[in-house]
Amino acid sequence: MNQAETTLKIAAEEIKEVLRKHNLAAAVALHSPGHGEYFVHLNPSYSCAYMYQDNGVRFYSKKEDYKTPKEQLEKQADTANMLKLLTDTTAFNFGCLDFLSKQFDELTGAEHY
């Protein structure tokens, strides 16, 4: 792993710490020249999603883990909302960046390998 990749990995871990501190979920893309790092953090306390090994997600929502059926339903609803909003905002960001990237490539003649 080179210095740029190491820097991105370190920055990603620092961002995950901030997300844990503030009990937030996120979809994050980082860039340094020639390198990119992307991760999703789906582990806030209001989520029944659990990430492991950075590329797998499981959902835990057993009836016995909640005090009431209402509490279980609320956590499921919060998880569904989290996933939907992260998906929608990631798709929106992709559309904007894809448009800008294509415009810039056209204006400058940039090539990607």
pLDDT in tens, 7-63: 999 999 999 999 999 999 999 999 999 899 999 999 999 999 987 766 788 999 999
Q: Note the pLDDT of residue 54.
A: 62
C-alpha span between 96 and 41 (Å, rounded):
22
C-alpha span between 82 and 89 (Å, rounded):
11
User: Who contacts 23 (Cβ-Cβ below 8 Å, separation ≥6)?
Assistant: 44, 45, 46
Q: Note the pLDDT of residue 72.
A: 97
Return the number of other C-beta atoms located less than 10 Å from residue 47's C-beta.
Answer: 23
pLDDT tens sequence across 74-96:
999 999 999 999 999 999 999 99
For residue 108, give both structure tokens.
Answer: 């400058």
Q: Note the pLDDT of residue 50.
A: 85
